[in-house]
């Protein structure tokens, strides 16, 4: 009798909408839904679980049942939550310590499971998520590179720029300029329509 289900394949807000609507159509009241996770108001019967599994399968998702995948989902959710909910990354906080504490596991074990399952190291995943936050700040704020480096936990602008260029092939300044040009072009397009 599960009250919470972990779901493989949820990667965006659209996935959340599809699953939420489908579960409501089945008649199952949802307490909370987020990427990779649904918490129900009540425990699910085996019949409910079968209905949910069939719906998810038809929609391109599946219930996570193995322990390693549950660890991976928890790690990804923790990383996403950390970068989405913290307006400022505290460089004194070691992410490895946070994960080890929340999962009650040795960080090396967590990292090994993640690498074997995902095909990239946990450190690479964390850097990628951190750089997504950098891109978001470059496009949607007027922060300077110094402020962005500080907010996202990079030790300096040089460190940020080096990581950014390795991952994207562009400098942060150039990325910001081309994104700004595209936004301006879109704004002009909307203002010139009859």
Q: Give residue-wise pLDDT tens across range 70-81.
A: 888 889 888 888
What is the pTM (predicted TM-score) of this model?
A: 0.62
How far, in Å, CA of 112 to CA of 75, rounded?
Answer: 12
Q: What is the topology classification, in CATH, of domain 4-65?
A: Alpha-Beta Plaits (3.30.70)
Report whether 80 contacts 86 (CB < 8 A): no
Same CATH topology for 4-65 and 68-180? no
- Per-residue three-class SS string for 128-161: HHHHHHHHHHHHHCCCCHHHHHHHCCCCCHHHHH
Topology at the third CATH level for domain 68-180: Arc Repressor Mutant, subunit A (1.10.10)
Quote the pLDDT of residue 190.
56
Domain layout of the chain by residue ranges: 4-65, 68-180
């Amino acid at each position: 009798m599960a009250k919470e289900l972990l779901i493989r394949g949820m990667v965006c807000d659209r996935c959340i909408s599809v699953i939420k609507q489908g579960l409501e159509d089945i008649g199952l009241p949802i307490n909370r839904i987020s990427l990779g996770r649904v918490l129900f108001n009540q425990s699910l019967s085996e019949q409910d679980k079968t209905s949910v599994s069939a719906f998810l399968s038809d929609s391109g998702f599946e219930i996570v049942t193995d322990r390693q995948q549950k660890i991976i989902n928890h790690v990804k959710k923790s990383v996403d939550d950390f970068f989405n909910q913290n307006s400022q990354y505290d460089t004194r906080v070691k992410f490895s310590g946070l994960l080890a504490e929340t999962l009650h596991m040795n960080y090396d074990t967590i990292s090994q499971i993640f690498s074997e399952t995902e095909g990239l190291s946990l450190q690479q995943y964390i850097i990628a998520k951190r750089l997504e936050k950098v891109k978001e700040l470059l496009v949607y704020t007027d922060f300077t590179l110094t402020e962005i480096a500080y907010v996202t936990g990079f030790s300096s602008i040089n460190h940020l720029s080096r990581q950014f260029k390795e991952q994207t092939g562009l400098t942060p300044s150039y990325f910001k300029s081309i994104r700004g040009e595209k936004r301006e072009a879109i704004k002009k397009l909307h203002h010139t329509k009859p």
